[in-house]
Structure 1
């Protein structure tokens, strides 16, 4: 349940933050676009332990964010569920932003310009034209972001540790069972993730075919 809660929370946050970012990347001609794209894609090539290490330094009690929270009377985010959410959002960012960016770019300017000639405002054009046409991208973003978060190991271990009931997600529990030579429980949890991953991929392919005639 902790793993599913983490994945669901991460996907919701990524949709809120990633949708406008993907829209900007798909249409912006800013000189900063390449730098932003590289930053978004960095978790794809950066070892998870490296990312987790720097997030731990950032969110720990002596880090800029963690230290500021302590100074305000709060607690650092390291080794908490909130810290796991922060790490998951950063680590799964490209799996949500890139499908959305590609779908928004594929929509093109024609449908938006046609809606503008009919009097649709910028917000209306986005929600009534761009979003429906990018439905396939949203399906892929939600599914891949959720699945990627469920399978995290290095980042969540570095920033959250292994605290049962608080930060111990399924991937870390599997590692614990294998380390203890408890292959029975490791098989059960691994099989659950295997089935879940297969079903999520089926949902992506079904959704892409379902919206092929509608989406971009």
Structure 2
């Protein structure tokens, strides 16, 4: 039982870490574009990004499962050209977690970029700095609080994800069975001791992450006074 508990937590942490890393890479350019550019379909793009916040996870999970199925275009393409199946695999639940976590990362980063004065970019461009240099040397260092918030919230959300992971990955021990699914299993089996062990661990991780967010944000606000 102890080995299963550790393996499940390891898989949960691995999923949350990889999903958060990919979301940070994806989220930074998207948040930058949404914060500083205006285009006709911007409202539509923002609505699509935020859909996981209002859409039941099982609905999103169902459509992803259908898309990943070997009987559909995407599934056929992946199997034919890459010899890969995403349904009921760890790779599949990573993609599902990335899609479900998009609004948590992008909204935090977009708010950070939007809160910066225009003078920061204008001064950098006036000094002859490129957009890339301005992005990495001027903008990113000034949204540290938003970066930390986005990373922590995304990581916490990925750890607690249930519906979309269950729909896309099923419940395969060592492959797609993460802690939130394990809690459901243990309750169904009336094994409340194990369910409490998983639940308390997730509660503790979430509490620590939220405390970290508030502590760091207060620290940054104090330094700017």
TM-score range, shorter chain: over 0.9
Q: Is the Cα–Cα contact under 8 Å of residues 133 and 214 in structure 1 kept in the other structure?
A: no
Pick one of 195, 210, 222 that aligns with 1:186: 195
**TM-score relative to the length of structure 1:** 0.97
> Matched residues in 1 for 2:55 and 2:33: separation?
24
2:79 to 63, 66, 70: 70
Aligned to 1:89: 98
Q: Is the 8 A contact 1:136 1:212 kept in 2?
A: no
Q: Which runs of 5+ in 1 are unaligned?
A: none
Q: d(CA) in 2 for partners of 1:160 and 1:26?
A: 34
Equivalent pairs, count = 215
Matched, 1:100 2:109: yes
Q: Counterparts of 1:140-159 in structure 2 under 5 Å?
A: 140-159=149-168
Q: For 1:173-212, what aligned pairs fall within 5 Å after superposition?
A: 173-212=182-221
Written as runs of structure 1 = structure 2, the 5 A alignment for 1:111-122 is: 111-122=120-131
Q: Quick one: distance in 1 between partners of 2:212 and 2:74?
A: 38
Deviation at 1:159, TM superposition (A): 0.1
SS at match of 2:221: coil
Structure 2 residue corresponding to 1:16, chosen from 20, 25, 37: 25
TM-score (norm 2): 0.93
Unaligned runs of 5+ in 2: 1-9
> Cα RMSD (Å) of the superposition?
1.2
Structure with more of its chain in helix, by fraction: 2
Cα gap change, 1:187/1:21 in structure 2, threshold over 3 Å: closer, same or farther? same
Distance in 2 (alpha carbons) for counterparts of 1:144 and 1:161: 24
Determine the structure 2 residue equivalent to 1:34. 43
CA deviation vs aligned residue, 1:124-175 (integer Å, no higher than 9, x gap): 1111110011111100110000000000000000000000000000000000
